[in-house]
Structure 1
Amino acid sequence: MEYGRFPAYRARRMRADETVRQFIRETELSVRDFIYPLFVKPGEGRRDEISSMPGVYQLSLDMLKAEMDELLGLGVRSVLLFGLPSHKDECGSEAYDDHGIVQEAIRVIRAEAPEMHIITDVCMCEYTSHGHCGKLTATGEVDNDATLAWLAAEAVSHARAGAHMVAPSDMMDGRVAHIRRALDEAGFSQVPIMSYSTKYASGFYGPFRDAADSAPAFGDRRAYQMDPANAEEGVREAAYDIAEGADLVMVKPALSYLDVLRRVKSELRFPTVAYNVSGEYSMVKAAAANGWIDEKRVVIELLTSMKRAGADMIITYHAKEAARWLAEEN
């Protein structure tokens, strides 16, 4: 091509008409991609809005049927359950209690909305009195290997209650293999594991800790969650979990780690989940409330970027509104 002359191909010809733009669109965002996080709590008639996450609620069990009806009506067919226990202790005993809040929520959803696919978060931070993700040593560090038995017991308890899939989020080394073995030995070899494999020690989790009442009582989680500066390690973590028996891997958070998401998907070629986390959600909500952004446009753009980067599924608090907006376009 002679320098300074227009080429024969003009890209704008394929952008001038909406029908043509749809013809050549490389990434399609669908309600089928969404998993909606759900917070369940003790009590009756409770639908308590989370102050730092407008539009997201903590629900008592009797409110779950209406929530399932709304989600299914929008086409959202999967939820990720988090529990606020009735009590907390040093060993997080309600996490693996067969009558804990998450276990009872699974039973309610199974009975009231059998079409809903139930994934459960497997971790200890919501249930321990100290807010860390496992058993503490005498010096206040999380004992990795001692914690594995608790996580396995929690996963088996969720499966026994009827969970379709379990999702360990604790970031203990070896927990996928330990949970896989426990599930298989308990007769739940058909229950898949969605591993929070590439989970960073992020500042974007603040609103979630309000929602789940899971902030650590001291210190932080940088000794077991990943350094935000590390991408190579993120790919390795996902590869380790695949080798241990994970059925899906996850990158969390999504927005600031799209490069890692792309690498995990392209290098490992494995089912990959993006978690559009609470801080990402709340930033959009705050900017929209101030009139600084077009919320619909920004949300769809953000979710599309996660899909484009390689996500097969997206865990997002925007699932309901995004489902409505996508339906309007079709």
Structure 2
Amino acid sequence: MEWYLPLIWASLIGVAVMMYVILDGFDLGIGILFPATRKEEERDLMMNSVAPFWDGNETWLVLGGGGLWVAFPKAYAIIMPAFYLPVIGMLLALVLRGVSFEFRWVAKPRHRAWDLAFAAGSIVAAFLQGVILGGLLQGIPVVDGQYAGGPYDWLTPFSVFVGLAVVAGYALLGATWLNMRTVGPVRELGRRVAPVLLATVLVAMAIISLWTPLMLESVAERWFSIPNILFLWPIPIAVVLIAYGIWQGILRGREFLPFAGTIALFVLGYAGLIISYAPYLVPPSLTFWDTAAAPASQLFFLLGTMFLLPIVLGYTIFVYWIFRGRIAPGEGYH
């Protein structure tokens, strides 16, 4: 087996997942913050701020899931049975949220049900994404290359806590997005809730960072052994410094800094997970190489991905450039 192909695919899937978390995270965050105001014009502005982007953002979820199926079919065959229920729930929530984008406008003035659908779909989707992540981090029982657990093994206090942490993290992304892209009361809403959400996210990151090594000896060994700890200690320091920068940016009315800092927090958290678990794709037993498809299959699909990925990136950059700048009440794209 060409040893480098699984690494390339793991990197591509990792980038796709990170892009999804950042890009779809802030528009899920808008839905999570929807109940924070009951004024129709403010909700209109919140929705309009993400209307040009939300459907393109979810392309990265398709790339991540499709890449897992193509490049690591054994991992896909284990992970999916382990998380059938939360995955189906997440997809249904995303569908409900997507439908609400369109129907909320045409249903006016009787659109309250679609306001609820937009908020509920966003909250449920974010929570279940965190639950899936938590269930993966706590480990999946595997016997003879097959999932050996039950249909509810993913439902634990740890996975529920990670789910709530992801909801808070997406809400922080949404709040800093509103601070950057809107004006008036909606921007003030983002600035008002962002410090509370930032504190919540930092506490959640600290608890998860302690919980995982206590739960898995391999993670404790990875972080706290010598000489690893000598190289890894700057990561938590960087988290604290970036969080301080976000807080200062919010207090001083900065536009881009809090949003960029929140993205940096997510990237550092993601890097921490990679350090803790790589090269295990199905913790704690199966690596990239254990679950990889045949080299010919990986190479064939890699050639197609190399052609399509620049198109997706180009489209993403183009849309964000075209719809750059702040959006005011009464303006929008829908």
TM-score, structure 2 length as denominator?
0.27
Which protein has the bigger helix share? 2
Which protein has the bigger strand share? 1
**Which structure ranks higher in relative contact order (CA pairs < 8 Å, sequence separation ≥ 6)?**
2
TM-score, structure 1 length as denominator?
0.27
